[in-house]
Amino acid sequence: MTSASPILLWLRRDLRLHDAPALADACASGRPVIPVFIRDALTDGLGAAPKWRLGRGLEVFSHLLEAKDSRLILRSGPPQEALQALAEETGATDVYWTRAYDPASVERDTGVKAGLKDAGIGARSFAGALLFEPWEVQTKDGGPYRVYSPFWKAVKGREVAPPCAAPKRIAAPKAWPESERLTDWAMGAEMRRGAAVLARHVEVGEAAARGRFERFLDERLESYKADRDAPAADGTSGMSAFLATGEIGPRTLWHGAMRAWHEGNAGAETYLKELVWREFAWHLAWHTPRILDRNWREEWDAFSWSEDEDRPEVLAWKQGRTGIPLVDAGMRELQVTGTMHNRVRMIVASYLTKHLMTHWRIGQRWFEEHLVDWDPASNAMGWQWVAGSGPDAAPYFRIFNPETQREKFDPKERYLHRWIAEGQGSPPETALAYYEAIPKGWNLSPGDAYPEPVVSLPDGRARALAAYEERRS
DNA sequence: TATCGATTAGG
DNA sequence: CTAATCGAT
């Protein structure tokens, strides 16, 4: 087999060795494997934080490959051209990759597959980014699901392919092709001063992901059902950013939690349901891609949301200075850590879209810019779910009350204390880090007075309810 | 994965 | 008087 032609392994959102069918198949062929990441238009178009996070992921993953006597080859440009050039340089005759499911990637990958085949190069795409292929889950009528609970019922008893093992070795080509340098890509450039703060709070790479997941199963899954909603508790799995870069695969998480479920673990089913929410988001994005940028329920086009991003109350929301403590704490957590507790995401989204009467797209874009765990499907579904324009809508107009939510989920104000410096004699490092992370132009300091509400809870609620009645009439 | 206000149970 | 429960939205 010494003359076997190499396989190009086109990495995108699958920066891992375990549970990676494309990699496993390539290695099992016995042929040399050339891992390659291509910085294309989709990469360049990422928000600042997710781009920075991806850059960190690429750095760690390349070291992982080097430990296996392999390499990560970096190229820029349209993938079709980059892959064909690499095939020519290396004699590779096949390209393997893990499928992506957002419309932009699907369009790109469909074109690349056809183009490669025209050029006489084999192209194979693999599952692995989801538990189920979106087209394999169907209602009795043969259509896609539109409501979460039946979707969960349909998949909870299904077999999920077990995660494949990490390859023992990755055969190297006789000669490595040239690679660009990651530092030249400057993937953190748009973060400016925020990158240093994020770096203190963000773990990167497959080893970190697997270690954290194991600890989660051992130490926190049992109490997950109760703890996951408390933003001050370390009660969640913390897998979202790892999933977004593919540093861990959903099948690994599914089988880990399923094993715990069979052992009678009290939190396992709740966790599996959360994994399936991610799956449901991708199911929706695949079958109704308009969910990513338009009201999923068209009747919401008539709702009088403001799309004016320059209003002072929108700036206050972005800055975490609405005067509503739980909202502000969440928005500051986002600046410092690049994530936000899931429950608080719902609350800040509700305040923006209801009390501030702002279109969910403005919040969606802010999250896209700032979340290191940014996932296009989950982000869009989440915003539309809160706004009311999405699938699985409640039969009433849902408005979260941030004060009621705080009493329920942060009764001791530990989360507020962690993120809001104003009024504290000696604020914790987390609250102070916010001032390091934000743009200098905001001119904010911990000595500022904490603001009065930009829109009070009763006024905002009344205004949103009135707009809802207006739309219905 | 909601809130509010009314009603009822319990002390 | 408070807490739990319920129905409308």
Say if residue A373 carries a ligand binding annotation: yes
Do A278 and A333 contact (CB within 8 A), yes or no?
no
Cα dihedral A252→A255→A259→A260 (10° resolution) = 60
CB neighbours of A41 closer than 8 A, spacing ≥ 6? A78
Chain C nucleotides close to protein (CB under 7 A) are 8-9
3-state helix, strand, coil in chain A (%, to 5): 55, 5, 40
Indicate yes or no: strand C within 7 A of the C-beta of A143.
Answer: no
Quickly give A398 CA vs C9 C1' distance in Å.
9
What is the model's pLDDT at position A394? 87
Say if residue A239 carries a ligand binding annotation: yes
What is the model's pLDDT at position A392? 83
Quickly give A342 CA vs B1 C1' distance in Å.
10
> What residues does A203 pair with on adjacent strands?
none
What is the model's pLDDT at position A429? 97
What is the model's pLDDT at position A458? 95
Quickly give A231 CA vs B7 C1' distance in Å.
33
* Residue A11 CB neighbour total at 10 angstroms: 26
Quickly give A376 CA vs C1 C1' distance in Å.
51
Footprint of strand B on the protein (CB under 7 A): A 148, 229, 274, 277, 342-343, 346, 385, 392, 394, 396, 398-401, 404-405, 408, 457, 461
Do A320 and A329 contact (CB within 8 A), yes or no?
yes
Distances (CA, A) of A155 to A30, A44, A133: 35, 35, 11
Here the tokens at position A131 are 């538990």
Do A62 and A95 contact (CB within 8 A), yes or no?
no
Half-sphere exposure of A373 (CA within 13 A, CB side): 23
Give the Cα separation of A45 and A54 in Å (integer): 12
Q: Which nucleotide is nearest to A394 (CA to C1')?
A: B2
What is the model's pLDDT at position A59? 98
- Which has the closest alpha carbon to A405: A323, A325, A297, A285? A325
Give the Cα separation of A168 and A401 in Å (integer): 53
Give, as one character, the DSSP assignment of residue A306: B
Say if residue A240 carries a ligand binding annotation: yes
- Do A130-160+193-287 and A298-472 fold alike per CATH? no
Say if residue A93 carries a ligand binding annotation: no
Here the tokens at position A412 are 């001791």
Q: What are phi and psi of A200, to 5 degrees?
A: -75, -20
* Residue A51 CB neighbour total at 10 angstroms: 24
Here the tokens at position A432 are 């102070």
Q: Which nucleotide is nearest to A397 (CA to C1')?
A: C9
SS3 A225: helix
What is the model's pLDDT at position A3? 66
Quickly give A458 CA vs B2 C1' distance in Å.
15
Tell whether domain A1-128 is in CATH 3.40.50.620: yes
Indicate yes or no: strand C within 7 A of the C-beta of A45.
Answer: no
Indicate yes or no: strand C within 7 A of the C-beta of A473.
Answer: no
End-to-end CA distance of chain A: 73
What are the domain boundaries of chain A? Answer: 1-128, 130-160+193-287, 298-472
From first to last of its 473 residues, what are the pLDDT tens digits of chain A? 446 999 999 999 999 999 999 999 999 999 999 999 999 999 999 999 999 999 999 999 999 999 999 999 999 999 999 999 999 999 999 999 999 999 999 999 999 999 999 999 999 999 999 999 999 999 999 999 999 999 999 999 999 999 999 999 999 999 999 999 999 999 999 998 899 999 999 999 999 999 999 999 999 999 999 899 999 999 999 999 999 999 999 999 999 999 999 999 999 999 999 999 999 999 999 999 999 999 999 999 999 999 999 999 999 999 999 999 999 999 999 999 999 999 999 999 999 999 999 999 999 999 999 999 999 999 999 999 999 999 988 889 999 999 999 999 999 999 999 999 999 999 999 999 999 999 999 999 999 999 999 999 999 999 999 999 999 88
SS3 A135: helix
Q: Which nucleotide is nearest to A396 (CA to C1')?
A: C9
Say if residue A375 carries a ligand binding annotation: yes
Give, as one character, the DSSP assignment of residue A450: P
CATH class, range A298-472 = mainly alpha
Q: Which nucleotide is nearest to A472 (CA to C1')?
A: C9
Say if residue A237 carries a ligand binding annotation: yes
Give the Cα separation of A356 and A367 in Å (integer): 17
Domain topology for A130-160+193-287: 1.25.40
What is the model's pLDDT at position A393? 81
Do A252 and A19 contact (CB within 8 A), yes or no?
yes
Half-sphere exposure of A395 (CA within 13 A, CB side): 0
Quickly give A396 CA vs B7 C1' distance in Å.
22
Q: Which nucleotide is nearest to A280 (CA to C1')?
A: B1
